[in-house]
Homo-oligomer: A and B are copies of this chain.
Amino acid sequence: MRKITIIGGGSRNWAITFMRDLALDEGFEGELNLYDIDQEASLNNAEVARRIFTLAGRQDRISCRAQADLGKALDGACFVIISIEPGLTECRYGDLVLPEQYGILQTVGDTTGPGGIMRARRALPLFFDFARQIEKHCPDAWVVNYTNPMTLCTAALYRAFGSIKAFGCCHEVFGTQRFIAGLAEKWFNAPSIERKDIHLDITGINHFTFAAKASWNGIDLMPRLKEHARDPFFLEDHSAIAEERKKSEKWFECDRLVAMAFLRDFEAIGAAGDRHLCEFVPFFLTSEDNIASYGITRTPYQWRIREAARKKDLKFTDSELNKGRSDEEGVAIMNALLGGSSLVTNINFPNHGQAPYLAQGAIAETNALISSSGISPLSAALPSEALQHMIRSVSDEQSLVLDAMWEGDEQKLFQAFVSDPLVRLSLKASRRLFDQMLKASEIRY
């Protein structure tokens, strides 16, 4: 009888998938606890969970309850999942629209850049508190974070409770595997290659991860990938495609042109979606035209508002709640840690040498062996020096943000702000934008 606790999950997509996978895991018996700052959301989710468990015929083995008190939700848990939205969707106005007024373009704005920094400013105090509550109520629990900014939220847990057993999960790498699997199918005339069979030596920081080594079935794919990255046909202007995507509101699609531009110019393929990768360096988001030429779009603020409203009122049909196992790995990871089959996947974890170009203790994303012995991060083939420097810079900026929030030092936050590669304003203009964003970020629950 195990107790699992989910903090947040109100955005529903991720939580529903996890509960379905859990229902299909025959070994599991126990209790799911849901906690959300918006109690109605957790009550709704608990309702959905019970439907899922019943549909799967597991209602005798798994129960679910919404908890109004975080402490009670955590008491005795062996597994805690955190997936929250830090602040109202309206806060994203400050994150995204204000910087635009200064010529700073962001595609997502939830991880890095001015938007990511402000989002971290809202999220980190919550994560400091989560960690302290976990220390008090379930210090030995495994804690998985799915919240962005992934690296900073995970780092915040460790800052507030040094011996927490936390890590961050992100499936962006899966998309890169699928992209390469598709290419490999053509190259080797193979009917259907599973993404899991594409081995990537993952290294970097969440959403700014790279692979300098890729193989399938023991075959080194790098020579072919590099050739492909230099193929003029592949690299042609994708502005028309971007235009089409805007019209059809397919904001999350991309063609891996940014990922492959990194391979062409910096010798390792980007292992996240293009819309994330491009935000960490100054050379993609230079103009709307340049962005469009890579086939990517910037999600409009207004769409985000609409989407949040739509999700809130979402109803699920039985068939939606009774689908087969997903491609997500949350439940498999939980199983591995609690004694089941071990697996190797990419996770965000404190650096103890797996990313030797980063500071010790900084949160790095690499592959890891996950088993009943815990999490053993795996070293990867090193990306080029130039990439190592870029990743290190990102990590250093994040370290400033973490310190700023921990120490309550707004000047330090400003130092991180002006150091961001997307901010190229004079100190005066930076200060003005920063102050405006601080104010806009104050909208509270």
A interface residues (Cβ-Cβ under 8 A, vs B): 199, 201, 213, 215, 217-218, 261, 265-266, 282-284, 286-287, 290, 338-339, 342, 344, 352-354, 356, 367, 369, 371-373, 376-379, 384-386, 389-390, 392-393, 396-397, 399-400, 403, 411-412, 414-416, 418-419, 423-428, 430
Contact = CB atoms under 8 A, between A and B. Distances in A.
A389 B379 contact: no
Contact of A396 (B389, B414, B427, B430): B389
A385 B419 CA distance: 11
Nearest to A411: B265
Contact of A265 (B265, B342, B377, B414): B414
Contacts of A424: 282-283, 286, 424
Contacts of A367: 376
A376 B373 contact: no
A378 B384 contact: no
Given A283-B424, A369-B369, A386-B415, A218 B339 contact: yes
Given A338-B218, A418-B283, A400 B386 contact: yes
So how many copies of this chain end up in the complex? 4
A392 B396 contact: yes
A213 to B, nearest CB: 8
Nearest to A369: B369
A377 B278 CA distance: 32
Nearest to A415: B386
A290 B426 CA distance: 7
Contacts of A376: 367, 369, 378-379
Contacts of A427: 261, 265, 283-284
B344 A369 contact: yes
A379 B396 contact: no
A256 to B, nearest CB: 15
A353 B369 contact: no
A199 B371 CA distance: 11
Contacts of A411: 265
Contact of A287 (B371, B392, B423, B426): B426
21 contacts: A199-B372, A199-B373, A215-B372, A261-B427, A265-B414, A284-B426, A286-B424, A352-B353, A352-B379, A353-B353, A353-B356, A353-B379, A369-B369, A369-B376, A384-B412, A384-B415, A385-B399, A386-B416, A392-B392, A392-B396, A424-B424
Nearest to A384: B415
Contact of A385 (B344, B403, B423, B425): B403
Contacts of A218: 338-339, 372
Nearest to A422: B424
Contacts of A414: 265
Given A218-B338, A218-B339, A353-B379, 5 more contacts: A201-B373, A290-B428, A352-B379, A384-B415, A385-B415
Contacts of A379: 352-353, 376-377
B397 A389 contact: yes
A311 B376 CA distance: 42
A217 B371 CA distance: 11
A157 B390 CA distance: 27
Nearest to A387: B415
A265 B419 CA distance: 12
Nearest to A385: B400
A264 to B, nearest CB: 9
Contacts of A371: 344
A385 B426 CA distance: 21
Nearest to A418: B283
Contacts of A425: 283, 286
Contacts of A400: 385-386, 389
B396 A412 contact: no
